[in-house]
Amino acid sequence: MAPYEPSSSTRAVRMDVESVLHMNGGLGETGYALNSSLQKKTLEVMKHIIVDSAVKTCVAKATRERFTIVDLGCSSGTNSLLLVGEIIRAIHERAQQWATPAPEFMVFLNDLPTNDFNSIFLTLPDFTNKLKLSVELQGGCAPSVCLSGLPGSFYGRLFPTNTLDFVCSFYSMHWLSQVPEGLVDGSGMSINKGKTYICSTSPPAVLSAYFNQFRKDFSVFLKSRSAELQFGGRIGIAMLGRESEDHSDRSTAILWDVLDQSFAILASQEMIDEEKVNEYDVPFYAPSRKEIESEVLRDGSFTIESMENYELKTSTGDPKEDARITSMAIRAIQESMISHHFGEEILDSLFQIYNGLLGEVMVKEEITSSHLLVVLKKSS
């Protein structure tokens, strides 16, 4: 690859997250569909709590002719319909146990407009057939399911007032609506040089910028869902989070640190410009339990029914294979933003370096990821 030729332009324009961020679509080697096994593993551990909260919501309804579900940040690939399918099966099974008619299900799959919705729609016949078969094997009638895609940001209103029964969001709400403001000084230079996210050397202003953006986004999210949910409706959220109040908690920071090192190596090889690296900040924030609790209390529309921290291991026992799986997953998630900022020509080299560095880390230590699972109930 030819050395990077820096332009004479000033600092890059802030990323428009809504038009850029998406998981890699399609069924190719670097697609999210083939590189989301880590997310599926996490979902398998947590899904029972979200499914149970959906069942409780349906049981408590005065009338159960229809049950409206929305999956916020559905992405694409094999995981997109997994949680929704589990919810429908569980509610249908409960209706059978009580010898009452199951509701009709209205399901909305939401993500940003650049999401690969077409790949989801192509899987619908298989999804409905498997759902029908699993219910019929239990002696029931096939459920009535109406499913639609809904592009748009969940940091804002998506539905009319009092129309939703249950909202779920899996592995999406750690993404912010925008790169935080306040990450540059008065001359437009980065105050977090060489870092894509919060790290142990980040100045306090960086922590404040990210936290303030999280508070703003989460407040808008809660207000929007409060308006859209019926009284007694619930939200089930699974997201990356922190065990402690330390923003540079290793389980959160390690994968970002390795990415920073990978960019630094490319810059040292003159494949990208160092200033271009300094300009790259990610719209991401992993909150702590305390931060979530504080924002829910401040909003006042919801009660916290449950909140759990999960520390999940990614190891298969083979550090080389673990590094490959993780680096491919990170590429499927990050590629849209990295290629937008640096150009797609650096991707193969970047993630080859990333894979190698990650392998070195995984030989020495087992990497864990920290997750938060939150269930909220609309109370006012």
Q: Is residue 132 part of a domain?
A: yes
Tell me the one-letter amino acid at 29. E
Q: Is residue 4 part of a domain?
A: no
CATH value at residue 163? 3.40.50.150
156/147 Cα distance (integer angstroms): 21
87/68 Cα distance (integer angstroms): 11
265/362 Cα distance (integer angstroms): 19
322/205 Cα distance (integer angstroms): 35
297/291 Cα distance (integer angstroms): 10
What residue ranges in 243-367 does DSSP mark as E strands? 302-313
354/357 Cα distance (integer angstroms): 5
161-173 confidence digits (pLDDT tens): 999 999 999 999 9
Q: Return the axis-axis angle of helices 319-342 and 250-268, rounded to nearest 10°.
A: 60
Q: What is the mean pLDDT of residues 198-215?
A: 95
From the number of C-beta atoms within 10 Å of its C-beta (0-12, 13-18, 19+), residue 375 rates as: buried
Weakest mean pLDDT among 22-36, 228-242, 243-257, 332-346: 22-36
Q: Is residue 3 part of a domain?
A: no
The gap between the terminal CA atoms of the chain, to the nearest Å, is 59
Q: Is residue 136 part of a domain?
A: yes
Contact assessment for residue 66 and residue 57, using Cβ atoms and an 8 Å cutoff = no
Give the residue among 249, 255, 174, 184 at the shortest CA–CA distance from 218.
174
pLDDT at 5 (0 to 100) = 41
Q: Return the axis-axis angle of helices 82-97 and 37-60, rounded to nearest 10°.
A: 30
Q: Which helix (H) or strand (E) holds 225?
A: helix 204-228
pLDDT tier, 1 (very low <50, low <70, confident <90, very high otherwise): very low
Higher pLDDT, 19 or 351: 351
Tell me the one-letter amino acid at 277. V
Q: Is residue 305 part of a domain?
A: yes
Q: How far is CA 198 from CA 77, 154, 186, in A?
A: 30, 24, 20
Q: For residue 271, give both structure tokens.
A: 């494949």
37-71 confidence digits (pLDDT tens): 677 788 888 999 999 999 999 999 877 799 999 99
Q: Other C-beta atoms within 10 Å of 257: how many?
A: 19
From the number of C-beta atoms within 10 Å of its C-beta (0-12, 13-18, 19+), residue 233 rates as: buried
Q: Is residue 9 part of a domain?
A: no
Q: What is the mean pLDDT of residues 22-42?
A: 71
Weakest mean pLDDT among 4-8, 99-103, 141-145, 275-279: 4-8
Report the share of the chain in percent with pLDDT over 70. Answer: 92
Has residue 112 got a pLDDT over 90? yes
240-280 confidence digits (pLDDT tens): 999 888 887 888 889 999 999 999 999 999 999 999 999 99
- The radius of gyration of the chain from alpha carbons, rounded to an integer in Å, stands at 21
Q: Other C-beta atoms within 10 Å of 366: how many?
A: 12
Q: Is residue 12 part of a domain?
A: no
pLDDT at 55 (0 to 100) = 96
Predicted TM-score (pTM) of this structure = 0.91
Give residue 108's domain range.
Answer: 17-378
Contact assessment for residue 75 and residue 336, using Cβ atoms and an 8 Å cutoff = no
Average pLDDT, the chain: 89
Could you give the number of structural domains in the chain? 1
Has residue 200 got a pLDDT over 50? yes
Tell me the one-letter amino acid at 21. L
Q: Is residue 151 part of a domain?
A: yes
